[in-house]
A and B are shown apart, each in its own frame.
Chain A
Amino acid sequence: KAGVTQTPRYLIKTRGQQVTLSCSPISGHRSVSWYQQTPGQGLQFLFEYFSETQRNKGNFPGRFSGRQFSNSRSEMNVSTLELGDSALYLCASSPSGATIDTQYFGPGTRLTVL
C-alpha cells in the first residue's frame, strides 16, 4: 500500500499571500489530521477531518482552514501568510480516527514565508 503523500514538498511564499497544501491518505483511510511543526513550538495539532467533516480543531487562527473530499484527500489553506507560518506541515491518516488506530504520517510540506 502506498503511504501518505503530501504535495508540494517545498514551498516558498511571501507575506500576505495564501497557500494550499494537499494530502492524500493511505487507501481506505478516512481520517486525516494536520499538524504544524516549528522549532519553537514543536508539533501542534491543526485539525482533523473525517468523512468530509471537520471533527476536531486546534488553537489556530481562522487563517488556517481545511477541507476533505469524498475520496478522503484533504487540503489545507493558509491565507494572509505571516513570517511565523514558516514550518513543516504534516498530515496523518488513520482508518477511522478511533483510539485504537495507528496514525501514519506523510513526509510533510516545508513552507517558507519571506
Chain B
Amino acid sequence: KQEVTQIPAALSVPEGENLVLNCSFTDSAIYNLQWFRQDPGKGLTSLLLIQSSQREQTSGRLNASLDKSSGRSTLYIAASQPGDSATYLCAPIPIQGAQKLVFGQGTRLTINP
C-alpha cells in the first residue's frame, strides 16, 4: 500500500528565498509523479508532471526531481513570492490504476512579504 510523506508539514519564509519541499513514498512501482498546489478551500492546480524517464522537470521558477529507486521527489522553488503561499501536494502515479492517486498531507507554505 502506497504511503506518501511530505516534509516539512509547514514552512514560513521571507520573500525571495529559494526553498525545497520534500516528498517520499514507500512503493517505488510508480510510473510518474505529479506535484500540485492547493489554495485554501480550492481545488488542486497541477504544477508539474515528472515522467520517470525524465527524472527532472522545470516550469518557470519551479523545478521538480524524481528518484524512484529511493522513493523521493523534491520540488525546488526559486525566488519565492507571496503568491506562492499555498499547500503543496505530491502524488506518485502508480503503474496500475493510474488515476488512483495517493496523496500525502502536503506542505503548507507561507511566503512573508
Contact = CB atoms under 8 A, between A and B. Distances in A.
A33 interface: yes
A65 interface: no
Nearest to A46: B100
Interface of A: 4, 6, 31, 33, 35, 42-43, 45, 48, 55-56, 58, 88, 90, 92, 94, 97-108, 110
Contacts of A45: 99-102
Interface string B76-105: 000000000000010001110111111111
Nearest to A88: B41
Interface of B: 31-32, 34, 36, 41-46, 49, 51, 89, 93-95, 97-106
Contacts of A107: 42-43
B86 to A, nearest CB: 13
B43 A97 contact: no
